[in-house]
A and B are shown apart, each in its own frame.
Chain A
Amino acid sequence: MDFSLTEEQQMFRDLFAEFAAKEVAPQAAALDAEERPPLAALQKAAQQGFLGAPLPEAYGGAGLDMLGYTLLLEALGRACLSTAFTVHTHTGLAALTVLRHGTEEQKERYLPALAAGERTGAFALTEPEAGSDFGNLRTRARREGDSYVLDGTKTWVANGEIAGLFVIFACTEGGVTPFLIEREANGLTVGRRERTLGLRGLALNPLYLEGCRVLVESRLGAEGEGLAIARAAQDRGRLSVAAMSLGAAQATLDLGITFALQRKQFGVFIAEKQAIQNYLADSSAEIAALRHLVDSVAWKADQGGDYTQDAAIAKLFGSQVALRVANRMVQVHGGAGYMKDYPIERWFRDARALDIAEGPGLLQRAVIAREMLAEKGIAVVA
């Protein structure tokens, strides 16, 4: 396996980094303070063709593979996790799901608009009584002639209040099935924004479906294909969170190093103290390992075939690394790390979400164990 980037990928990496540093990072503190979604950054990213980057050229994309796409998420994750999650939801969850499972008509209707940022995508799977166990969805889609009528409630729908297109999972007679529903649909209501510990720039809303009638053409895939579609999106999502974790870990380490080189205690820079050096060195080693893990899983995803276990491993390890590094760098900052004035405080709050989003670490362990045991011929019911 050769993980060295091609010249094209290097160009994308440098460009994503420059874009994130100049257009995204300067807004991060304000988005957090004002609990405002990154609409300006989304528009700029759309103008650059980043929102559709992994889509084929025919749909306004640039045909980036998963490795290239993780470079984008890593760069955004290094600048602002709220923005990274917003883009990940829009592109990785909504647009790529339409691309992989939509009809030609659905793709032509939605993908160019998503790539151009004319509609923002959202992905509504989780319910109050069903998180990652999406076999137990209570949202129903009743078939009535050439339409479906949806009833139910979705929670923590990322991009909810800014979305123009929702991928909504509901139970039909044939099983779990996703629907592509536009914001304007009757019977679809976006609830009040959730208030959160971190990721305050990410719009998280409940979604209420009350007699929401949509045409059969809105159905994504055949009835009952929803579980497979959701799992594919989850695999992508987990790899994406790992890439964002990599960016976030690097960002917090950078903050810690800069602080340690300036702060003097008892006459020496704290960077000269071995305890601080241990923090920095451990973090650096873990980040290096995570980088290779993300690259190798993205490479595997690009080869086709199943990478569920790999994605779960990357997600588990990535979120652990990001949280550990953020925690250590708060410690390096000492009292300053607890002040709202210092960005490490926001990073610490945001990094906590990396464990929870796309299935908490505990679930990832269950997935990893299940896959591991399945190789030994032992079936575990998750």
Chain B
Amino acid sequence: MLRPLRGLSMTEGNSARHSLKAKTMQDLSYLEALMGEPVGEEGYRDIWGLASAVEGRLSDLSLQTVGKARGLADGLGAYVRFLLAGAPDEETAQTLIAHGADYVYLAPGQADAETLAAFLRERKPEIVLLDDSITNRALAARVAQALDASLVTEAEDVRADPIDRALLVTRPIYEGIASQVIACLAKPQIVTVRAGAFPLPYPDRSRTGSIEQLSASWQPDAVQYEPAPEVASPPALTTARIVVSAGRGMEDAEGFALVQQLAARLGAAIAGDRGALDMGWIGPEQQVGALGVIVTPALYIACGIEGTTEHYLGMEGARAVIALCRESDAPLLKAADWGIIGSPKEIVRALVEAMG
């Protein structure tokens, strides 16, 4: 199934030595590295990852995932092996190696569940890390079901239990009011990792690793995808994840246009307080408050709103609040997770720029 592209020039190289340094004496996995014998349960070994290059570039999330895999591998005494799907080239593979991979396998196409499951069944990985995305969640779920593996999606944190090597994965529950630690009992242990859960690793261009070309034929998915035109309608105010809200502090139509820009940049719904209604910027159906609409977004950005009780009653359910206010004694500042005092117009303009 495997056709080496380049000889296994560094199979045991700096990775094994590197991990030896990090070992404690209870952890016998270093013996595996020395003797070439698996010590993991039933021969499940190494940390596998799946990455996909888009136009020759790896996403930040993929780099975060490979960095985390490296960290876990160092703790467990294991190799990091990455499947690189899409239209992979050697340069992308080298980037993975620089960020912590020991082996990179170039797959000729997108990974489909059947082939990936067959591949992993043969390879017996101890851990499989994937970037958390809609596609990968479905892929991971199919593979886990096929292999009778453990699976935890949307991981915010991944640790290995120092005693039994079991992965302890943290993920949000009840739409994020708390997080649950979940222990993986079955191997392989498959985890999809959320964006931003781990820091971007620093690349070490001097790291070396092996690159192999896989010849297996990856099946095209039975599902056909075609790009669809975006529907430009902003999200409904009551179900939007982010709400950007304007008040009289935005001064004039130009100021409100900045608020609209910020909302468009974030894919947020636009709202306002009574002041914005009086200015004619928003309709009554966009007025947030006890007398208008009550919103409960994950993030509420109040631009130039001082914050009456009436308004507060409409947005108190927001998970996080930002208040951009002119006056340092604006009531909303006390209810905000972050506040910035100054000209709301200038701050909103700076925010749009800072988001790039």
Contact = CB atoms under 8 A, between A and B. Distances in A.
Nearest to B331: A264
Interface in B271-294: 274, 290-291
B13 to A, nearest CB: 63
B328 interface: no
A262 B291 contact: no
Interface in B289-338: 290-291, 309-310, 312-313, 316
B308 to A, nearest CB: 9
A7 B198 CA distance: 47
A363 interface: no
A313 to B, nearest CB: 35
Interface residues of A, number: 10
Contacts of B291: 29, 341-343
A195 interface: no
B309 A263 contact: yes
A26 to B, nearest CB: 9
B309 to A, nearest CB: 5
A336 interface: yes
Interface residues of B, number: 8
Given A29-B291, A258-B290, A341 B313 contact: no
A259 interface: yes
A258 B313 contact: yes
A334 to B, nearest CB: 11
Contacts of B274: 341
Contacts of B309: 259, 262-263, 336
Nearest to A26: B293
Nearest to B291: A341
Contacts of A263: 309
A226 to B, nearest CB: 45
Contacts of A343: 290-291
A197 to B, nearest CB: 20
Nearest to A341: B291
A343 B292 CA distance: 10
Contacts of A255: 290
Interface in B51-66: none
A259 B340 CA distance: 27
Contact of A342 (B310, B312, B316): B310
Contacts of A258: 290, 313
A255 B313 CA distance: 10
A262 B290 CA distance: 11
Contacts of B310: 336, 341-342
Contacts of B316: 262
A342 B312 CA distance: 13
A24 to B, nearest CB: 15
A22 to B, nearest CB: 10
A258 B291 CA distance: 13
B338 to A, nearest CB: 20
Nearest to A343: B291
A273 to B, nearest CB: 16
Nearest to B274: A341
B284 to A, nearest CB: 9
Contact of B312 (A29, A262, A336, A341): A262
Interface string A250-268: 0000010011001100000
Contacts of A259: 290, 309, 313
Contacts of B290: 255, 258-259, 342-343
A258 B290 CA distance: 9
Contacts of A29: 291
Given A255-B290, A258-B313, A343-B291, 4 more contacts: A259-B290, A259-B309, A336-B309, A342-B290
The list of the 10 closest CB pairs from A to B, nearest first, reads A262-B309, A263-B309, A262-B312, A341-B291, A258-B313, A262-B313, A343-B291, A341-B310, A342-B291, A259-B309
18 contacts: A29-B291, A255-B290, A258-B290, A259-B290, A259-B313, A262-B309, A262-B312, A262-B313, A262-B316, A263-B309, A336-B309, A341-B291, A341-B310, A342-B290, A342-B291, A342-B310, A343-B290, A343-B291
